[in-house]
């Protein structure tokens, strides 16, 4: 085993530990430390790289911890607590970490033994290991022999199961002197909680589908609504704090324009109430497909926040011989961003424009366009139980460079402009 222990000197590991799931699935934490088993992850990253990334999370969450690295859990905890790198140099007080490194409820059993060893002049683990095991078992019974074997690394320590919290919640208390009451200060304050929430989401291999924001302001007598609860539902799950902040900016600007805050903000909290699984992979340096997709998802959410969810949609093709009815509105993002352009035009005219054709000339309102290339006909026919028609469609390129989609009604009927190729 290769264990990394994060011993917290400021803050608690209660919420920090979820970020570590992106490094290894074997994690345990208690009230003072987080333990990471990275034995099976040595080919993914080096220990030095992992420590640098952990330090980034340390600054992001506003905590402080010391790091200990060893081949077993209690030694890693003792190294971090006493800031040592050699087992022999650890003080005799480190026996408490060997007695119960994961659950501190059992430390009381080792306290009488520790007190007696100190009175006997045993100052460090080197002196403790020099004691004969027979004398330890006769004086301290099973506990003495057990600790002697654990310090030597002969006694394995099973890790208990760990349950993740159901929801991710981050909050921040704001000083009155900041006088945050408008959009820009609010977005600035939201940045750090969002980064922490997204780090935890990434560790859990999830993205948020619904985000609740609670804004608490000063409770002045003139304030009618000191607490404001807002829910933001994303049609496509989001996992990047930068993109989420841009979406919130659009939605909060619209809301605060209608109902401004009546007093300075004193407390902010965000909670991811709905999440969905996310497939996290390493960034491909030679293909930016995943990055482009995430940017498009963010852009769609911002457009929906500004224009309305019903006005932003994808045109999905459906099986129909009638061009006007060969697509429908869908809200989901296309599975492939780089979909090739269809043979039919993207832009269809709601009311086809009549044209006059003379040989290789198209005439519209007195102006003529010379045809330089033409493909067709593509013959389409309406349903007999609805409006019955016969059309011959042509993909026509004119001298100006435009590509038109025109059709002729019946064999000898007039021509119409129905679509334009981009």
Give 106-150 pLDDT, tens digit per residue. 677 788 888 888 888 888 999 888 888 788 777 887 888 888 888
Instruction: Let me know whether 175 and 83 are in one domain.
Output: no
Q: Tens digit of pLDDT for each residue in 83-109?
A: 999 998 999 999 888 888 887 766 777
What is the per-residue pLDDT for 351?
A: 87
Instruction: Let me know whether 416 and 291 are in one domain.
Output: no
- The fraction of the chain above a pLDDT of 70, given in percent, is 90
pTM > 0.85: no
Total number of domains constituting the chain: 3
Give the CA-trace dihedral at 125, 128, 133, 135, to 10 degrees: -160
Instruction: Let me know whether 147 and 180 are in one domain.
Output: no
Q: Do the bridges between strand 361-364 and strand 347-358 make them parallel or antiparallel, or are there none, so unpaired?
A: antiparallel
The answer to whether the CB of 3 falls within 8 A of the CB of 37 is yes
Residues making up the chain, counted from first to last:
422
Confidence of residue 337 (pLDDT cuts 50, 70, 90): very low
Q: Tens digit of pLDDT for each residue in 47-60?
A: 999 999 999 999 99
The residue-averaged pLDDT of 211-221 equals 91
Instruction: Let me know whether 116 and 208 are in one domain.
Output: no
Residue 160 belongs to a domain: no
Q: Do the bridges between strand 390-398 and strand 314-317 make them parallel or antiparallel, or are there none, so unpaired?
A: unpaired
Domain boundary among 120, 151, 182: 151
Instruction: Let me know whether 74 and 179 are in one domain.
Output: no
Structural domain containing residue 277: 168-307
Handedness of CA 324, 327, 328, 331 (dihedral sign): negative
Give the pair of three-digit tokens for residue 303: 């457009």
Instruction: Let me know whether 10 and 145 are in one domain.
Output: yes
Q: Tens digit of pLDDT for each residue in 145-186?
A: 888 888 888 877 777 777 777 788 999 999 877 888 899 999
CATH number at residue 303: 3.30.1490.100
Lowest-pLDDT range of 61-75, 239-253, 323-337: 323-337
Residue 162 belongs to a domain: no
The residue-averaged pLDDT of 400-412 equals 86
Instruction: Let me know whether 134 and 60 are in one domain.
Output: yes
Residue 326 belongs to a domain: no
The residue-averaged pLDDT of 223-251 equals 88
Instruction: Let me know whether 228 and 109 are in one domain.
Output: no
Instruction: Let me know whether 385 and 288 are in one domain.
Output: no
Residue 330 belongs to a domain: no
Confidence of residue 330 (pLDDT cuts 50, 70, 90): confident
Residue 334 belongs to a domain: no
Residue 253 belongs to a domain: yes
Bond before 369 cis per omega within 30 degrees: no
Instruction: Let me know whether 136 and 175 are in one domain.
Output: no
Domain boundary among 307, 327, 359: 307
What is the per-residue pLDDT for 309?
A: 72
Residue 161 belongs to a domain: no
Instruction: Let me know whether 81 and 55 are in one domain.
Output: yes
Among the listed residues 225, 101, 210, the one whose alpha carbon sits nearest the alpha carbon of residue 159:
101
Domain boundary among 249, 276, 307: 307
Listed in sequence order, the residues at least 6 apart from 353 whose beta carbon sits closer than 8 Å to its beta carbon are 364, 416, 417
Three-state DSSP string of 286-324: CCCHHHHHHHHHHHHHHHHHHHCHHHCCEEEECCCCCHH
Residue 17 belongs to a domain: yes
What is the per-residue pLDDT for 365?
A: 81
């Amino acid at each position: 085993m290769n264990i990394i222990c994060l011993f917290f000197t400021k803050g608690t590991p209660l919420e920090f530990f979820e970020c570590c799931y992106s490094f290894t699935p074997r994690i345990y934490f208690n009230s003072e430390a987080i333990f990471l088993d990275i034995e099976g992850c040595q080919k993914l990253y080096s220990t030095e790289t992992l420590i640098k990334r952990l330090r980034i999370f340390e600054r992001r969450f506003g905590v402080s911890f010391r790091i200990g690295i060893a081949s077993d859990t209690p030694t890693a905890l003792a190294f971090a607590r006493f800031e040592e790198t050699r087992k022999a140099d650890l003080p005799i007080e480190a026996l408490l970490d060997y007695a119960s490194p994961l659950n501190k409820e059992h430390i009381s059993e080792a306290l009488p033994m520790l007190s007696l060893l100190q009175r006997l002049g045993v100052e460090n683990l080197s002196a403790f290991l020099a004691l004969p095991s027979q004398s330890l078992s006769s004086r301290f019974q099973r506990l003495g022999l057990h600790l002697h074997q654990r310090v030597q690394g002969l006694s394995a320590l099973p890790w208990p199961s760990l349950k993740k919290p159901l929801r991710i919640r981050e909050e921040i208390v704001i000083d009155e002197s900041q006088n945050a009451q408008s959009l820009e200060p609010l977005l600035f304050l939201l940045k750090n909680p969002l980064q922490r929430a997204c780090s935890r989401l990434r560790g859990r291999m999830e993205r948020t589908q619904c985000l609740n924001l609670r804004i608490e302001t000063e409770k002045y007598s003139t304030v009618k609504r000191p607490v404001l609860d807002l829910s933001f539902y994303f049609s496509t799950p989001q996992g990047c704090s930068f993109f989420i902040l841009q979406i919130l900016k659009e939605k909060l600007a619209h809301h605060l324009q209608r109902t401004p805050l009546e007093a300075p903000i004193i407390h902010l909290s965000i909670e991811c109430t709905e999440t969905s699984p996310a497939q996290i992979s390493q960034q491909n340096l030679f293909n930016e497909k995943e990055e482009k997709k995430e940017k498009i998802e963010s852009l769609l959410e911002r457009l929906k926040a500004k224009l309305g969810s019903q006005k932003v949609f994808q045109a999905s093709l459906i099986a129909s011989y009638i061009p006007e009815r060969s697509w429908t509105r869908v809200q989901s993002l296309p599975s492939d961003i780089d979909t090739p352009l269809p043979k039919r035009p993207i832009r269809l005219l709601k009311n086809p424009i009549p044209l006059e054709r003379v040989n290789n000339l198209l005439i519209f309102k007195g102006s003529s366009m010379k045809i330089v290339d033409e493909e067709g006909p593509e013959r389409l026919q309406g349903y007999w139980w609805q409006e019955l028609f016969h059309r011959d469609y042509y993909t026509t390129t004119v001298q100006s460079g435009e590509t038109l989609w025109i059709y002729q009604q019946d064999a000898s009927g007039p021509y119409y402009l129905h679509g334009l190729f981009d």
